[in-house]
Structure formats: C-alpha cells, structure tokens
C-alpha cells in the first residue's frame, strides 16, 4: 500500500509475487485497487471476470481467479502464480463499508485457503477500501519514493491506520532510489515523524533502485523478473522476497488455523 499513487506498488507486487512463486510458494496475487486496477494490464491479460463480479454479481471467486497468470504468457516461465484481477472504474467500491468488507471476506476466504501466500496490491489513498484491505492482512508493506509528497502521504496512511484501527506494524519499501543513501534518508524521515507524532516505529524492509528496465517491462506487459532477472531492480526485489519469507517464517506458528483474510474491528 501507499498514500500516493504511482510509487510502484503494482510493479513491486507483481515482481515480488513472481519472485516468491519462483521460490516455490503457492501464491495468489490479488488486485485490491478497486478504482484503478492494473495487474492484468501489467501481465498483458484480459480476464473474463474480476473481484467486483464476485462482490456485486455473486460470481464464484474460483471462476475469477486466473491460473498461472504469468506462465500463460511464456511457457518457459518458472514463476507460476495465480491472480485475482479487479475491474477499473467501479466507483462504488472505492469506499468499501463494513457490510461489503464482511461479504468480501466471506466469499473469497474459502478459495484463498488453497494458497500459502496472498499478496494484495492496494490502491493509493487513505479511503475506506484501502483501510479495509490494509486491516485484513497479516503483514503490511508501505511503499514510498524519495519524493516529499510520497513521504507525507505514506505518513498520512500510517496515521489513519494507527489512530483509527490501532494498527502499529508497518514494513517500509523505498522505491525508485539512486542507492543506499537515499533509502536511508527517506526511511529516516518517515520513521522520525512516525515515532514522534504517532508512537509508531515502522521497520525498513529495503529499497528498489530506479531502473529503466522496469519501465521497459511495463511497456512490454511482462514481469521484470521474467524479462530481466539480472536487472538492478529485479535483484533488489529478490532481496525483499527473501526478507519477507524470513519474517513470514517467524509468524507462521501464529497464523496457523487463522483465516487468510481477517476482520479487524475499529478501535
């Protein structure tokens, strides 16, 4: 998730998903940007059904899931994972209320039990749907870039989630950096503000370097990890995947027996 749009959430989700799937973890990539969904575009696929159909028309979620979403483009692809796409331009779902949230959880949780990891790509902003999705996850990752506007928007998102929902645990990825120095500086700024004003201590997961290969992958509508696994950004994303797996391993005993997506009530 992120406060600001265009900071790289969808590309990081897609390629992180690819990397985790390659490491052998059954993975579902879920497009939770119900206003401006685009994981399907990044993969160059046109799904028949989407999350909104499941929610609004009662479609079976198993029929909306696209199996082997990346491998279908290239038979040689090692990283096979499934995606649950969403539709763009459905304004009534950018502000999900609690009834809608409960319905969503009830309809999709049964199908999600088949997966070890569910990776959710959220929309930008701090509105109801973003908050609902953010609260459902076991691990939350905030993405920002070194731009001051990305920083203030990331801070605003952490603020609403911590003050309204009592969520205090956040991992941070600084995207589009020139190098380690920029990563550290950006993270420090966010961390200092969060500690001082919110009593929240976000944890740095890592950074992804600015990389023209990522932009080329977007234009070619294929995952960076598939086209350019040696690119700087691809290497950085692999490191993020390894770190997430380490955190996941520590959490696994506590997640045992829990539903994939949970309802976290407002404080």
Ligand X SMILES: Nc1ncnc2c1ncn2[C@@H]1O[C@H](COP(=O)(O)OP(=O)(O)O)[C@@H](O)[C@H]1O
> Which residues form the interface with Mg ion (CB under 5 A)?
9-10
Among 116, 159, 189, 210, binds ligand X (CB under 6 A): 210
Residue 11 binds ligand X, judged by CB under 6 A: yes
Among 40, 153, 211, 226, binds ligand X (CB under 6 A): 211
Separation CA 69–CA 50 (nearest Å)? 14
Query: How do 171-177 and 203-209 pair as beta strands?
Result: parallel
Nearer to Mg ion, 219 or 249 (CB): 219
Q: How many CB atoms lie within 10 A of CB 247?
A: 14
**Minimum CB–partner distance for residue 31 and ligand X (Å):** 10
Total residues in contact with ligand X, by rule CB under 6 A: 18
Nearer to ligand X, 183 or 211 (CB): 211
Q: Which does 176 bind (CB under 5 to 8 A by kind): Mg ion, ligand X, none?
A: ligand X
Separation CA 243–CA 211 (nearest Å)? 21
Nearer to ligand X, 111 or 211 (CB): 211
Nearer to ligand X, 8 or 202 (CB): 8
Name the burial class of residue 89, with classes exposed (0-12), middle (13-18) and buried (19+) by CB atoms within 10 angstroms of its CB. Answer: exposed
Binding mask 166-205 for ligand X (x = CB under 6 A): ---------xx-----------------------------
Nearer to ligand X, 6 or 179 (CB): 6
Q: Which of residues 109-148 bind ligand X (CB under 6 A)?
A: 124
Q: Which does 207 bind (CB under 5 to 8 A by kind): Mg ion, ligand X, none?
A: none
Q: Which residues bind ligand X (CB under 6 A)?
A: 2, 5-11, 124, 175-176, 208, 210-211, 214-215, 218, 233
């Amino acid at each position: 998730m992120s406060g600001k749009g265009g900071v790289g959430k969808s590309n990081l989700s897609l390629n992180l998903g690819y990397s985790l799937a390659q490491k052998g973890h059954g993975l579902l990539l879920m497009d939770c940007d119900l206003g401006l969904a685009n994981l399907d575009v990044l993969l160059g696929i046109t799904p028949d059904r989407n999350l909104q159909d499941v929610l609004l028309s009662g479609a079976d979620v198993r029929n909306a899931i696209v199996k082997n979403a990346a491998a279908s483009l290239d038979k040689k692809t090692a990283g096979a994972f499934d995606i649950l796409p969403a539709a763009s331009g459905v304004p009534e779902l950018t502000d999900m209320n609690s009834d809608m949230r409960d319905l969503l959880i009830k309809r999709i949780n049964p199908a999600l039990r088949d997966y070890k990891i569910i990776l959710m790509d959220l929309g930008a902003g701090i509105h109801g749907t973003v908050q609902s999705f953010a609260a459902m996850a076991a691990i939350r990752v905030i993405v920002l870039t070194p731009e001051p506007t990305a920083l203030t928007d990331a801070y605003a998102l952490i603020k609403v989630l911590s003050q309204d929902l009592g969520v205090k645990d956040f991992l941070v990825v600084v995207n589009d950096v020139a190098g380690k120095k920029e990563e550290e500086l950006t993270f420090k700024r966010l961390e200092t503000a969060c500690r001082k004003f919110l009593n929240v201590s976000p944890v740095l997961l890592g950074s992804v370097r600015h990389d023209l290969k990522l932009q080329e992958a977007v234009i070619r509508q294929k995952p960076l990890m598939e086209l350019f696994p040696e690119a700087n950004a691809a290497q950085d994303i692999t490191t993020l995947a390894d770190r997430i797996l380490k955190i996941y391993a520590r959490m696994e005993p506590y997640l045992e027996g829990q539903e994939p997506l949970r309802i976290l009530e407002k404080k």
